[in-house]
Each structure stands twice: as structure tokens, then as C-alpha cells.
Structure 1
Amino acid sequence: MLRLALTGGGGFLGWHVRVLLRALGWPEPVVLTRADLADPARVAARVSGVDRVLHLAGVNRAEDPTEVAAGNVRLAVALAEGLRAAPVPPGGVVYANSVQAGNGTPYGDGKAAAAAVLADAGLPLDDVPLPHLYGEHGRPFYNSVVATFCRVLAEGGRPEVHQDRQLDLVHVTDAAARLAGVPAGGSWDPALPALRIGVRELAGRLTTMAAGYRVGDIPALSDRHHVRLFNTYRSHCFPAHYPMPLTRRADARGELVEAVRAHGGAGQTFCSTTVPGVTRGEHFHLVKVERFVVLRGTADICLRRVGDGEVLRFAVSGDDPVLVDMPTMWVHKIVNTGPDELVTLFWTNDLFDPARPDTWAEPVEPAPRVAVPA
């Protein structure tokens, strides 16, 4: 269990690092903002004695291409000045570099130059060249083509492929584990297993997922990247697409509701009863796909994204069955709000493994322990 400090804590990669640390119960990292980096003395005081400093902040795009290179170097210089002045030097620096470093583009040259600056800071440097990262809550048209395609599909559009090239996709939680020094053993893999896929094939795969999920169907989740791509797509659907109505079929015998249609795999289905006033849940998942369908009674399904303060509530009833799929990295619970017993059907995409449950305890309320940096 390491004490970490990081730059870029409010960004895509930084948020995923903080979520992983939170799941593991590691100490809250020291988050260095852009304002902190403007003051070397402040950086020195905040990083003093930490085990590892993760430099995640960077400039990916700018109207002036030269600002991309200059911005990455400027951030590295500011951090290096603070590191040199720390009363107790940190144990080392981990740099979230890019496989594009030194490729002749402003971005690649800026990342390579920043690595050289950090290497001269006088501390051990772990320079990690990262490929194309994807994952939940990426910023479309900025972080990742995966995020862009997912957002376009979630809004009912069709992704456009202007140039078909091969990508090596790594899920951002795997990158977070590699940078933070988290050993393998959970749903993450610090060895950075990559999915090699063409842009056109990626667009087609996501389009097929989206077409089925519009009616609640679960696509074939045949490997870890299929699951993570589906979770990434779902993150762009939430909360606007939920709850999803379920079709009810009735005849003289009674009623039937198709709660789960999973293509290519059965997963695990279980049913629970909950007495009035009782709450189930109060946890989040990093990978698991989980569906709630209330069959009898009334309930509130409450969710909060890890690290955020806003709680979303869906009032659901067995009189009008709907599905609500829990997005990964959102703390959730279900509360029986009625006077009678609550009957809920749950479905997950994989079988429960007590050794690796992917269930991380945290209350939905009160507000989270840390706020997202500005």
C-alpha cells in the first residue's frame, strides 16, 4: 500500500487511478492541480515523503500545435522544480508517457521532451509509454475514438470512419494499475493487455452493441475487452437511457416479462426479497455488468459516480417493470420504499467468484470522501 501523489487527478486517467485506489482502500492520493504546479514551493511541500509521484497531466490538443509540445514540457518543468525542492524526496516518479513519444508530431515530441526533463529531476523515473486508452467516462472528441463513437451511438447517430487504421486499445484501469504499482490479482492487469483492432471494425462492433442494447439486449461478452467496451458504451448511455421499459405480455394465465436477453452467454440470475425499509447494495463494481428488475413492490434505486457528490434516484415498481443496469464505477443501492415485501431480480454477466467478487463497499450517501479537483 503506497502513498501517492499525482498530477492530472481530474482527468480521464487520473479519475480512474483514484477510483482504483479507492476500491483497494489505499490512502487518498495527494492531487496536484495546475495551480499547485505554478508554485514549486507548494509542490515540494505536498509531495514530500510520498512513495511515488504519478505525472498524468498533459496537453493533448490546442489551437496552436506548438502549444501542445510547449505545454507538456512546461508541466514537466514545473513538477521537476518542485520535486528537487521537496524536504523529503519522493521515492520516485512515474510518467504517463505515450507510444507516440518522439514521432515527430508536436504531441509526440512534447511527450519525449517532458520525459527528458523528469529524468533530470534527480529521482528514479519509471517512463511508461501508454497506447490508446479507452474506458468509462472518456471525453468524446478528445480522449479517445472509443469515447467519440460511444457518445455518437448513445445519441442515436452513426460513427464516421475517416481513416481506417489499426489501434492497440488498453483499458484505462489496467493503465491505472500499472502506473500506481498495483499488482495483478483483481479485474485489472498491469501488464496492459491490448486489443488490436481496426477503426472500422471498432465502429462496427460498437454499432452492433448499441443496436441490441436499445431494447435492453446484452451483447455477446466473449472476452475482457468485449466486456469493457460494453461498459464504456453504457457509461455514455447513463443516466439518460434509464430506466428502460420492459415489454409485458399477458393472457388468461397471467403475465410474462423478458428481463434479460443475453447473446452468447447466460451469466448468473438470482432473486431476492427485501422487507420494508431495508437497503441492499452500497457498493460499486469495476467491471461487472449488473441488472436490477423489480418484480413486486416499490423501490428507489440510488446511484452516485465514485468521487462525485450528486446522487441519482430512480423510483421503480413491480406494477410497471423496468430495467436499470448499474454502470461500472457508480456506487449503488436499492431501498424498499413500500409497505410490502420487495421482490427483485438481479442478473450479472459472470458467475460470482468469492475470491474475486468485484464488489467494493462504499455508501451511496453521504457525500464521497474526496472531491474531483477543479
Structure 2
Amino acid sequence: MKVLLTGAGGFLGWHTRIRLHAQGEHEVTVVTRDTWADLATLVAGADAVVHIAGVNRGSDAEVEDGNVRLAQDVTDAVRAAGHPVRVVYANSIQDGNGTPYGTGKARGAEALGALRADGHDVVDVRLPNIFGEHGRPRYNSFVATFVHAVAAGETPQVADRPVELLHVQGAAQVLIEALTTTEQRLDPKGTQVGVAEVLDLLLEFEASYTTGEFPDLSTPFRIDLFNTYRAALFPQRYPIALRPNSDARGTFVETVRSRGGEGQSSFSTTVPGVTRGEHYHLSKIERFAVVQGSATIALRRMFHDEVIEFPVTGDAPCAVDMPVGWAHNITNTGEDVLVTQFWSHELFRPDAPDTFPHPVAQEAQA
């Protein structure tokens, strides 16, 4: 299916794009602010539109009217396409709650829903509060605000209340499922949690991970929140120094400490000049620790250009934990065999490996 993704440069758009890329089932064309003027032409060549682009900050009028305008632009482009186009609308549980954002999303849903009378399938996806890696503080969610505050050594003020939180990759999966569903509306559910509980968990993560120790990762919500937290630390806090304990017998280095959940360790040997890795993950927490030899660990956030490199050596033990959504590799840059230990937070499952091949040295649009 040829899928057009609006808002691809934003938080939910990036996560949806990377999940579509990982699954490899659809041909995806992205629409950003820079290419919005080409919307009608792009829709004419598509089988479906996943409409994520939206406005959630600004004056009341800018928020409400902005969301309506974007939805109307999609509506007009679909009507002009000349063939049936499925539309998946990233709506919100705030639809119709009386706020400018809720009113704008509701009016957008009404405009898009009118396409059904013209023979187009429209799926309204009512998303709860979403959170995840690379969210912008004071913009995307309170979770992003808390994450960046805790990472900076601050403790934000909390007005506690219950909230339903859905990790952004879960939201992306529902939007993808909407491409083939027979339903006209989907209401994905998140995790019921208190705002104060989220902050307490982040403070727990900070206290543990500051020492290089992994916190309790025994539930999916803890894993998702920890991945969100550590994304805010990258690359400033890496690599993580490991403390050697040496005596007359030699040296002992503790490479991984984990307080709960699954875990799997492995090691590899790599001859000089060879590169391993060249893949990314959607949720897996993976640690590289060079035990012997010299190497460069390179990472690039998917659909971005900048490559970040860490030179590492077994003579100064350290660890680098791979952020999700970043292609990564390790290259033996020395003259001897490289020995690397790998640890992941979950057991390897051949039917769901969460490992997607992709080179680090590649431009964002390639």
C-alpha cells in the first residue's frame, strides 16, 4: 500500500515512520511543513493517508483553527485525488472536551468524516495521552517535561491526578493497524497511572542509572518509561565509565547490574577492520561493553544525518547503551581481535527479535 504520512517531522510522526520502516509492509511518503504545499499532488499518488500533523501550542484561535485547516487541506486533497483513499486520523480523547485543542480536533474529525459519503474509508483513532523517546519538554507531554527536569537534577512540582498514558510506539501501531481495519473508530487504551507515580519512577531510574545500574524493568510500562528517560540522556552521559577492580591476579570489571526483569548476555570476537551491528531497535535496551581491544561505536538517529561516535577500549572499560530508534554499529579499529560483551533487557526471541537492519552511514532521506 502507498501510504502518505503527514506530520512526519513531529513526535508521533517520527515514531510512526520508524515503525512503518521496521515492518516494511508499505511504501511510505512523508509530508512535512516544507512539503505541505505539495499535499494534493502527493495524495493523488497514495492509497492511504495517515494524518498526524496538528497544532497543540499557540493562541486559542491558532490551536483550534490550525487543526481544522490541516484536516480540511487533507479533505480537499482526498476529494481531488480521483480515486478512493483511506484516511487514518490521529485524533485525541480530548475531541469535543470544550478546549481549543479538543474543539479543533473534533471539527477536523467532522471534516474528514464527511469523506465517507464520497466513498472514502475514514478511521478515527482516539489516542490518549502519549509519551516516549524524543518528546519535547513543555510541548508534547508532562512526561517529557519531567524526564528532562530529572535528567537535569531538578524535581518538578506535581499536581497529582490519574492519567492514562500510551507509549508512542503503541500509538503508532494502532495507526498502522487502522490502514486495514474494518472499523470506523479505534480507541486504544494506555496504562492508568498517577502523575506523582510517574515522577517517582523517574527519580528511581535516575538514582539507579546514574551509577550505570539498570533499574527494575519488570513491566512493559517501566521499560517504556525507562527508554523515554534514557533518550534524554543521550549522548551527553555516554559512555558510562565502568570501574575496574585490580590486584595481583588481574582485573575484575562489573559490566551489568540489573534490579529486575529479564536479561541476556553474550559476547563476540571481531577481527580488525570489521563492523558489527548496523541495525536499530524499537524497544530493546542493549548495552555494548568492550572487554579487549579498541573500537568505535557509531550511532545515527533514524531519518537524521548526524552520526555520533564513541571511541572505546578495553584498557578503559566503559559501556554505551543504545537508544531505541538509532541505527548503531561497532567497528574494530585496533590491530588485535576485539572482544565485546552485549547485554539486552529481554531474552532473544527469533519470532520477535526487535532488530531491524539499517546502516549507520546513510543520509536521513535514503
- Shorter-chain TM-score tier: over 0.9
Deviation at 1:368, TM superposition (A): 3.6
| Distance of aligned partners of 1:157 and 1:28 in 2 relative to their CA distance in 1, 3 Å threshold | farther
For the residue of structure 1 that corresponds to 2:164, the secondary structure is strand
Alignment of 1:221-300 (within 5 A): 221-265=217-261, 267-300=263-296
* Inter-partner Cα distance in structure 1 for 2:178 and 2:77: 25
- 2:65 aligned residue: 70
| Match of residue 365, structure 1, among 356, 361, 366 | 361
Give the aligned residue type for 1:198.
G
Give TM-score scaled by structure 1 length: 0.92
Q: Which residue of 2 aligns with 1:60?
A: 56
Instruction: Give, in whole Å, the separation in 2 of the partners of 1:299 and 1:35.
Output: 39
- The match for 1:32 is 31
Match of 1:207 in 2: 203
State how far apart, in whole Å, the 2-side matches of 1:159 and 1:331 are: 32
1:324 matched to which residue of 2? 320
Deviations 1:84-105 (A, max 9, x none): 1113332x11111110110111
1:301-322 Cα deviation digits (max 9, x unpaired): 0000111111111000000001
Q: Does 1:103 align with 2:97?
A: yes
Report the equivalent of 2:338.
Answer: 342
Q: Secondary structure at the match of 2:232?
A: helix
Aligned residue number for residue 352 of structure 2? 356
Structure 2 CA distance, aligned partners of 1:324 and 1:149? Answer: 24
The aligned residue for residue 187 of structure 1 is: none
* 1:140 equivalenced with 2:134 (yes/no): no
Other structure's SS at 1:117 match:
helix
Unaligned 5+ runs, structure 2: 181-185
Contact 1:283 1:360 in 2 (8 A): yes
Tell me how far 1:35 sits from its aligned partner.
Answer: 5.2
Q: Deviations over 1:306-345 (max 9, x none)?
A: 1111111100000000110001110000000000011111
How many Å separate the matches in 2 of 1:113 and 1:279? 52
- Identity among equivalent positions (%) equals 50
Per the TM alignment, residue 50 of structure 1 is displaced from its structure 2 partner at its CA by 2.1
Letter in 2 for 1:268: Q
Mapped to 2, the partners of 1:170 and 1:301 lie a distance apart of 32
- Residues 206-235 of structure 1 show CA distances to partners (whole Å, capped at 9, x for unaligned) of 110111101111011111111111111111
Change (3 A) 1:75 1:182: closer
Q: How far does residue 183 in structure 1 lie from its aligned partner after superposition?
A: 9.5
What do you get for the CA RMSD once the two structures are aligned? 1.8
Residue by residue over 1:6-48, the C-alpha shift from the partner in whole angstroms, topping out at 9 and shown as x without a partner, is: 21111101001110111112344222334554x5xx4232112
Structure 1 residue identity aligned to 2:23: L
Name the CA shift for 1:309/1:36 in 2 (closer, same or farther; >3 Å). closer
Instruction: Indicate conservation of the 8 Å contact 1:149/1:159, yes or no.
Output: yes
Q: How far apart, in 1, do the equivalents of 2:364 and 2:31 lie?
A: 19
> Structure 1: how far apart are the matches of 2:179 and 2:246?
52
Distance in structure 2 (CA, Å) of the matches to 1:196 and 1:204 = 15
